[in-house]
Structure formats: structure tokens, C-alpha cells
Amino acid sequence: MKKFIKGFLMVAIVLAAGFAAWFVMGTKKASSVSEASNYYGAFTFIRFDNTNTKWDACYAYCWTNKGDVDIYELKTQEVNTFACNINGDAYDKILFKNTPGKDNWDNQTADYDMVSGPTNYTFIPTKTDGKVEGKFVEHDYSVVTVKYSNDTIADPHVYFQIGDGKWSDGFGFQMKNKGDYSEADIYVADAAELKMCFNNGDNNTAWDNNNSKDYHVNINNHGVKIITIDNGEMEVK
């Protein structure tokens, strides 16, 4: 009798464990923030252009026509840009918002059809009053690396204007020290021109504004990817 009870309990434990495993595997876990894969080939790389919205954070709220919802946190990438990889084929709709979770709503975009495929898309807001509206742009040359060196500026900040947009706030963005040069990746989308000047992050030193002319670079016509400025001499590749 004891052997029978012991055997019965063992079978019950195995069945319970199997059911629990099936339940976990067969049920999609609701997520507040999903971790998207970094494997570019299987996912769509989606950027949010934060130039005019000035959000502190950005989340992609993605859902299917059946009502399944996932929320992806976009990470700060280039200057004025949030980005992450999302499996666009898994969803039907997308909107962007500046707060996490399904119940927190502050600023948001309108609803849009989900973009998909192993490529790059950037959502560019064109209307920021009230509910943000904009467009998705598929692109290749969207990021320009600026390399800068100047003997009189020890902590370079790049102050810039993309196309006809707004100039950077304050002193611009602090560049990263990469040895001989300080660098910053600037997302330029489909703009035709990039204007820049440089400073030390304060008003204690003179700005490098190319003798009051600023540094002007024609972007789209040349597929520009790297801009190097070394003590006033500019090279564009």
C-alpha cells in the first residue's frame, strides 16, 4: 500500500510539473516592456526622430488586430534619436508615446500601420501640437558621424541645425572622446543640409563657428557619412 501511494504521488508530481511547463510555454506572457533582439536580419530597425518633440523617453506601443499588445522601450541612439529593433511582422499597428506601460499616457502619436521587413525606418514627427502626427521614412544614409578636433576646445559640444529645423538647445550635445578626435553621430533623416558650430559647453571660451559662417554640409546629394573638422579644415566623405 505504501509503495502504491508513493508511486501515485510521484506520477502526480510529474503530471503537475508537465502541466505547469505546458502552461508557461503555451501562454504568452504579458509584458510592460519587451526586450527586442539585436539581430538586424530578422527585425525592423525603427527610429523615432526626437528633434522637435523633445521627449525624455520613447516607447513603441505595438498591437495586433486581435488585441495583443507589446510595448518596446526605444533606447537613445544618435543625437535626438530613440531606436530599437522590432519584429514588425508580428503586429498590425504602432504608435509612440513618452511613458511606459499600458495605462500611462502623457504625449503620444496617432496610430499608424506597422512597418516591417529587415530594413531601417524612421518616424519623423511633422505636427507636435496635441497628438503628434508624422510619417515613416525608409532610408539608407540617415546618420552622419562628425569628427572634431580643435586646440582651443578641450570638451567639444556640437551645436547644429538639421535642414530647416530648430537649432540644438543650450550648447548642443557633448561629443565623445575617441582619441585624436571627439565624435558625435547625428541623425539627419532626409534633410538636405547640416549646419554646425562647436563650443566648450560654456561661455568661457570662444565658439568655433567657422568665422561666423558656421559649417555647412550638403548631405543628401553626396550620401555623406563622415564629416571631419580639424582646426577649421573640413573634410567630407
H or E element in which residue 75 lies: strand 69-76
At 204, the pLDDT band (50, 70, 90 cuts) reads confident
**166 is a domain residue:** yes
**67 is a domain residue:** yes
The pLDDT of residue 86: 87
**184 is a domain residue:** yes
**31 is a domain residue:** no
At 113, the pLDDT band (50, 70, 90 cuts) reads very high
Query: pTM for the full model?
Result: 0.52
DSSP the chain: -HHHHHHHHHHHHHHHHHHHHHHHHHSPPP-SSB-----GGGSEEEEEE-TTT--S-EEEEEE-TT--EEEEEEEE-SBTEEEEEE-GGG-SEEEEESS-SSS--SSBBPPEEPP-SSSEEEEEEEE-SSSBEEEEEE-S--EEEEEEE-TT-SS-EEEEEETTSPBPSTT-EEPEE-SSSEEEEEE-TT-SEEEEEEE-SSSSS--B-TTTT-EEEE-GGGT--EEEEETTEEEE-
DSSP 8-class letter at 134: E
* Residues 18-76 pLDDT 10s: 444 333 333 222 333 443 333 233 468 899 999 999 999 999 999 999 999 999 999 88
Q: Which of 138, 167, 194 is the C-terminal boundary of a domain?
A: 138
CA pair distance 70, 58, nearest whole angstrom: 14
pLDDT of residue 89 exceeding 90, the answer is: no
Burial of 224 (0-12, 13-18, 19+ CB in 10 A): middle
Q: What total number of domains does the chain contain?
A: 2
For residues 186 and 203, membership in a common domain is answered with yes
Full domain range(s) for residue 85:
40-138
User: Which residue intervals of 55-107 are DSSP H helices?
Assistant: none
The pLDDT of residue 19: 40
